[in-house]
Structure 1
Amino acid sequence: MSMATTVQRSLASARCKFELVAHPRSATSLESARVAYVPAERVAKPVILDDRHGRFLMAVVPASRHLNLGRVRQNKVDWQLSNEAAVAGLFSDCEVGAVPALGEPYGMPMLIDPQLTRQQDIYLEAGDHENLVHLEMEQFLKLVPHAEVCELCH
């Protein structure tokens, strides 16, 4: 596998300029940053949350940081970490554990930590464990025009 079909279609329809960066197989966003020799603060790590009533939310933080779930709960919804089976079903064109930081193309709202949006460029999983999509921040934001930027990290 290489890039997930949904990611390919989204990049094409938004006419985004990007580069596909191949790297040795990795299991996490932080490990992908390490093996691809890119700064972890520029790798977007998606965390999938749900409200246990069928609504999902993607919170995107730098791979070098951790999500502060308390900051997400401020939206008056008790968001919880989604289980792997639910996530796999939402991202069926991706390998398990290689979710791209693109909630909107998959039909879910997104929150993005400003530590990412302050970066000039960004890397995100392509949908497999061996490729990252590298693009300038303005290109990334074209892919997720409705994403809300808010503090999400500790």
Structure 2
Amino acid sequence: MAIALSLQEYLERNHVPYEVLEHDRSSTMRAAAQNSGLPEDCVVKAVLVEDDDGFMLAAVPASCNVALNRLAKVVNRPIDLAREADITTLFTDCEKGALPPVGAAYGVDVVIDDSLDDQYDLYFEGGDHRTLVHIKGEDLYRLMPDARHARIRDL
């Protein structure tokens, strides 16, 4: 599968150069990093969460989990993991569980872990479990200028 059409169109509309890398099918971002020979700290895992206001993505390095309690403090409201049915509804052109962290392509707000701020290169799901998208770290912030940055990872 090529990258998800919504993601591809958003990258191209914003003139962000990207590279598509294929790897053996993996069920976690940590495994995707290992299959691709990449450091886990520059591979981005996206987790969909929800609250009374709707949905948002939390983006953390593949080596970490989202600390829901920290994220709740950042957004100043209680949050919980989204249900699988909601993920499928919002990310219609993605395989189950293969969420790109570029929430703006899907109309979803994003909170980015601050450890990703200093990464020169970033890699993330392209919409399936066999494809990573490579962009320059600075381009992630151009793609989502309104994203919040905070420590939301749990080591």
Equivalent runs, 1:1-154 vs 2, <5 Å: 1-51=1-51, 53=52, 55-74=54-73, 75-154=75-154
Normalized per residue, which structure has more strand? Answer: 2
State the Cα deviation string for residues 2-54 of structure 1 (Å, max 9, x = none): 20001100110111111111101111111111111111110110111001x36
**Contact 1:71/1:151, CA 8 A, preserved across alignment:** yes
Long gaps (5+) in structure 2: none
Aligned equivalents of 2:17, 2:141: Cα separation in 1: 12
1:63 maps to a residue whose letter is A
TM-score by length of 2: 0.95
Counterpart amino acid of residue 64 in structure 2: R
How far has the Cα of 1:148 moved from its partner? 0.8
Distance in 2 (CA, whole Å) between partners of 1:10 and 1:36 is 24
Where does the alignment leave 5 or more consecutive residues of structure 1 unmatched? Answer: none
The 2-side partners of 1:41 and 1:2 are apart by: 24
Q: Is 1:2–1:130's contact at 8 Å kept on the other side of the alignment?
A: no
Tell me, in whole angstroms, the C-alpha distance in 1 between the residues paired with 2:18 and 2:76: 36
Tell me, in whole angstroms, the C-alpha distance in 2 between the residues paired with 1:18 and 1:109.
Answer: 22
Question: Residue type matched to 1:96 in 2?
Answer: K
Flag as ranges the 4+ runs of structure 1 deviating above 6 A.
none
Between the aligned partners of 1:56 and 1:23, the Cα distance in structure 2 is 29
Q: Distance in 1 between matches of 2:97 and 2:28?
A: 7
C-alpha distance in structure 2 between counterparts of 1:54 and 1:145, whole Å = 20
Question: Which letter maps to 1:71?
Answer: R
TM-score by length of 1: 0.95
CA distances 1:82-136 after superposition (whole Å, capped 9, x unpaired): 1111111110010111111111111111100111111111001000111100011
What secondary structure does 1:44 align onto? strand
Distance 1:85 1:140 in 2: 27
Matched to 2:60, the amino acid is: V
